[in-house]
Amino acid sequence: MKMPRTLLAGLLLAACIPAQDWPHWRGPNYDGSTEAKSLPTDFSRKKGVRWTADMPGPGACTPIVVGDRIFLSSVDKERGKLVAMCLNRKTGKTLWKHDAGSGFGGDATAGRRSNYASPSPTTDGERVIFFFGNGDLVAYSKDGKLLWRRNLQKDYGNFAFLWTFSASPTLWDGKIFLPILQRDAPLGRGRGRGRGGRDGGDERNERKPIDSFVLALDPKTGKTLYKQARASKAQAESRECYATMVPFINTDGRKEMLCVGGDVLTGHDPDTGKELWRWGTWNEGHRQRAWRLVPTAVAGSGVALVCAPKRAPVFAVKLGGSGEIGQEAGLAWQSEGRPNPVSSDVPTPAYADGNFYVLSDVRSALSKVGAKTGKVAWTVELPNDYRWRASPTYADGKVWFIDHNGLVLVVDANTGEIIKRTWMGESEDDDQIRSSVVVAHGNLFIRTNAKLFCIGE
């Protein structure tokens, strides 16, 4: 029997990932899904908890899990440090914790809305890579030995972002990939004043052109393998992207890294960084100047789903092309409906079994959408007391997600019924919880501002 091409591509992506691990922000398949079964649904802060671990402070970083180790970063509020941590998966005990970041907190303009411990780490099982919003990129062995460190702002100039940069690194095919998609000039007066510059020093306030680029680095040494320019016709804030690069393998075996931002979606050769194809735009004529992009592209069923900003639609782009792809020629479908189509401003959708699960922070709703057709199977309205900005996770025929205050919902993926509501936050004043629910080794890992919970038998 001939294997379906989409299944073959998925198997190739996951071929080197041990079963049950969650080694990347978006999981073993880079799409927010896992094959885990028989997960617990009857749990609370007190019920069904294997262990809890106190966090030194908040952080939007989603933990990653490999074998018996959990890796995550955090702000240490009391000491004013950025830390990299490793916990024992079975007990929650801290195995090691290091001061990893050279700068504390986040951009003053963002206030309590972000901090430098927002990107999630990534690992190949031997080494773990941490990235922080101030540009620090640090590698440790799984046992906590420092392997190398560098600061990308020091190497390539100050970042030119209005908000705290928070793309997560991707470790795949023997390389670390990180996109730096930013404004082409430093920010001027007002919010973010002076950010951006070629050398991070005396010239940071001069309005010199600033490049957007894709980096590939050697995970063993941290040395740059290539720095590939990534052009864009977008303007001002619309050039800024906070999304993560994800791998994709075409039906002919061609490997790609998908990169979204600056009003377009591109596919890159992972060996050279060369742009293989480009599709866009959702920003007609690039007229919108404040459409920074947050959600990462998600591949499934032969398309990549990209979420345009604010209340704009989502777009399914055909994969497997080459060169400059026309907007109509490359578009499989886009979400419809007025005044509110299926959309997402911040959360990255999940993909599983031929469907996308789009969590909308602007609509307070979750929708199941057919990947090939764009047909909406169901939409469930959600409580809207707090924002839904952590990306959803698909596992065990259910969708799992958490709001800024720590309310966890579990939705039946077949019917759209909410089958579990439980509050995991610390107080009614809790806000800004943005770490996705992680599924690994038969357990749920739920991070709040103050604790990491392990749920399960």
Instruction: Please report the DSSP string for 390-455 in residue order.
Output: SPPEEETTEEEEE-TT-EEEEEETTT--EEEEEE--SSTT-----PPPEEETTEEEEE-SSEEEEE
* Helix, strand, coil percentages for the chain (3-state, nearest 5): 5, 35, 55
Residue 3, pLDDT score: 38
- pLDDT of 305 > 90? The answer is yes
Q: Tokens in use for 81?
A: 């440090």
Residue 185, pLDDT score: 85
The arithmetic mean of pLDDT across residues 432-441, rounded, is: 95
Give the closest residue to 116 by CA, choosing from 151, 164, 161: 164
Residue 5, pLDDT score: 42
- Asked if residues 244 and 30 have their Cβ atoms less than 8 Å apart, the reply is no
Which residue pairs, CB below 8 angstroms and at least 24 apart, start in 45-50?
A: 45/422, 45/423, 45/424, 45/453, 48/455, 48/456, 49/453, 49/454, 49/455, 50/92, 50/443, 50/454, 50/455, 50/456, 50/457
Beta bridge partners of 360: 365
Give the closest residue to 72 by CA, choosing from 119, 27, 31: 119
- pLDDT of 318 > 80? The answer is yes
- Asked if residues 318 and 264 have their Cβ atoms less than 8 Å apart, the reply is no
- Asked if residues 71 and 139 have their Cβ atoms less than 8 Å apart, the reply is no
Residue 426 burial (10 A CB sphere; 0-12, 13-18, 19+): middle
- pLDDT of 111 > 60? The answer is no
- pLDDT of 1 > 50? The answer is no
Give the distance from CA 241 to its chain's centroid.
11
- Asked if residues 228 and 217 have their Cβ atoms less than 8 Å apart, the reply is no
Give the closest residue to 131 by CA, choosing from 197, 199, 67, 60: 60
The arithmetic mean of pLDDT across residues 342-361, rounded, is: 97
Place of tokens 């922070």: 361
pTM of this prediction?
A: 0.93
What confidence tens digit (pLDDT) does each residue in 181-209 have?
A: 999 888 764 444 445 544 443 344 455 67
Domains and CATH numbers, the chain: 5-254+388-452 (2.40.128.630)
Beta bridge partners of 268: 257, 275
How many residues comprise the chain? 457
- pLDDT of 62 > 50? The answer is yes
Place of tokens 């777009």: 315
CA distance readout (Å), 88 to 53, 138, 254, 426 = 10, 21, 37, 23
Give the closest residue to 441 by CA, choosing from 35, 101, 130: 35
Q: Tokens in use for 175?
A: 């390389």
Least confident of 196-205, 219-228, 346-355, 421-430: 196-205
Residue 208, pLDDT score: 65
Q: Which helix (H) or strand (E) holds 339?
A: none
What confidence tens digit (pLDDT) does each residue in 15-41 have?
A: 455 569 999 999 999 999 999 999 999
Share of the chain above pLDDT 70, in %: 89
Place of tokens 């900005």: 389
150 CB-near residues (< 8 Å, 6+ apart): 136, 137, 222
Beta bridge partners of 260: 265
* CA 269, 270, 273, 278 torsion-angle sign: positive
- pLDDT of 4 > 60? The answer is no
In degrees and rounded to multiples of 5, residue 96 shows phi and psi of: -160, 155
Quick one: DSSP state of residue 61? P
Beta bridge partners of 298: 305
Sheet holding 393-395, edge to edge: 393-395, 398-402, 407-412, 418-423
The type of residue at 5 is R
Peptide bond just before 347 cis, omega within 30 deg: no
Instruction: Please report the DSSP string for 106-131 in residue order.
Output: --TTTGGG--S--SPPEE-SSEEEEE
Instruction: Please report the DSSP string for 141-182 in residue order.
Output: ETTS-EEEEEEHHHHH-----SS---PPPEEETTEEEEEE--
